[in-house]
Structure 1
Amino acid sequence: MEQFFHMIVDYIGQWGYAAIIIGMALESACIPIPSELIFGFAGYLVYLGRMDFTMAVVAGVAGGLIGSIGAYFLGYYGGRPFVLRYGRYILLSERNVDVAQKWFDRYGLKATLFSRLLPVIRTFISLPAGFARVNFQKFVLYTVLGSIPWTMVLIYAGILLGENWQMINTIGHQASFVVAAALIIVAFYYYRKNRLHPGHDKA
């Protein structure tokens, strides 16, 4: 793992935004590459002035979308039996697929939106979406909207941590729940506001 860690850092350091796109595409395609590591180091490079924050976010979201689309079509055309049979070659376990499937069964297509903020589930949620053959356009939209907050927060955390950016690898899961909780609070606030004052925004 230590060697793998340095390899990812070296690639991002040399290839910049392209490496972020590739790394996040692989992570979102169910290959276990920690996004905390990718975005944490990207944030550190922004801190050093070697990357632009907005471009790093765009690269991260774009890579995540590419990998998610790949996983979606894998589930769409291959189905669950195919994924479980050959997934072991990319370290994809049946347990991970089952966890993502339970979330999708409970929340449907909306799970592809908010589960991007949750550990493990965000990596595999595209598979059950493909199994169910949900509307592709909505899947893409929800994937992008769900990826933006997670990407921005982790890159910004890497900026704040600076030389200590590697700490993000240990606090990444906690950050997921913090971001998710914040979004839930904001959504609840606007829901309550619109319910109490339904015509306020139209005035």
Structure 2
Amino acid sequence: MSFEIVSLETIQEIAHQYGYWAVFLGITLENAGIPLPGETITLVGGFLAGSGELDYWFVLGWAIAGAILGDNCGYWVGRWRGWPFLLAIGKLFRVQEAKLTEVKSQFSRNAAKAVFLGRFVALLRIFAGPLAGIARMPYWKFLLCNAAGAATWASVMVSLSFFVGQVVPLEQLVSGVAKFAIIALILVVGWVVIPIWWESRQADNL
């Protein structure tokens, strides 16, 4: 997900200066739960590889490594302290613990899909790891889904900017990917919230 507080020009300057380290650290921190524009950094890395400034396979390798490491950090933070923190946030916004427990159960039932596919969804890429930890997803299962999702996501992003970036302006490419991620987020939120709302309405009518 792209953030206006970090311009594309700034990200390009950082990538030019630090190369593979910028790709690795940007994605690691984003997947650990820090809202940095890791997706944009990955696209910029692939674009620079397409222009010959970086090596495609090194960009891809560092992107995968950063995504795996970052999500692992997020998972353990969520597993150790995530639930008490979530309850505190819930009290702040007057969300009942029962509702949070219901959302937690919903995520647990779909944790594997969320970890694997969540990388293509705005915000979920940042919070999938911590949420998996909060939901107590078995670590071996998380690790498998995390690695598979990281490899798939990084391959798509790096390859997209490597090839398409040669014929489409980078700004347009980043904007298009961000819009896709936001649409995916809206669909996911609807998929989670609507059933809960419907069940709650049905219960009130009884």
User: TM-score, normalization: structure 1?
Assistant: 0.70
CA distance in structure 2 between the aligned counterparts of 1:15 and 1:103, rounded to whole angstroms: 41
CA distance in structure 2 between the aligned counterparts of 1:157 and 1:83, rounded to whole angstroms: 36
Amino acid at match of 1:123: I
Q: Deviations over 1:109-160 (max 9, x none)?
A: 3421222222221221111211122222221221111122221222222222
Look up the match of 2:37. Answer: 34
Contact 1:117 1:146 (8 Å CA) reproduced: no
Structure 1's unaligned 5+ residue stretches are 87-93, 180-203
CA distance in structure 1 between the aligned counterparts of 2:112 and 2:19, rounded to whole angstroms: 33
CA distance in structure 2 between the aligned counterparts of 1:175 and 1:57, rounded to whole angstroms: 21
CA distance in structure 2 between the aligned counterparts of 1:32 and 1:177, rounded to whole angstroms: 15
User: TM-score, normalization: structure 2?
Assistant: 0.69
Q: How many residue pairs align between the two structures?
A: 168
Instruction: Report the secondary structure of 1:9's partner residue.
Output: helix
Q: Residue 84 of structure 1: CA displacement?
A: 6.5
Change (3 A) 1:124 1:101: farther
CA distance in structure 1 between the aligned counterparts of 2:16 and 2:104, rounded to whole angstroms: 36
1:166 maps to 2:171: yes
Contact 1:150 1:176 (8 Å CA) reproduced: no
Change (3 A) 1:124 1:178: closer
Change (3 A) 1:39 1:78: same
Identity %: 27
CA distance in structure 2 between the aligned counterparts of 1:178 and 1:169, rounded to whole angstroms: 14
1:157 maps to 2:160: yes
Q: Deviations over 1:31-70 (max 9, x none)?
A: 2222331122112111111111121111111111111111
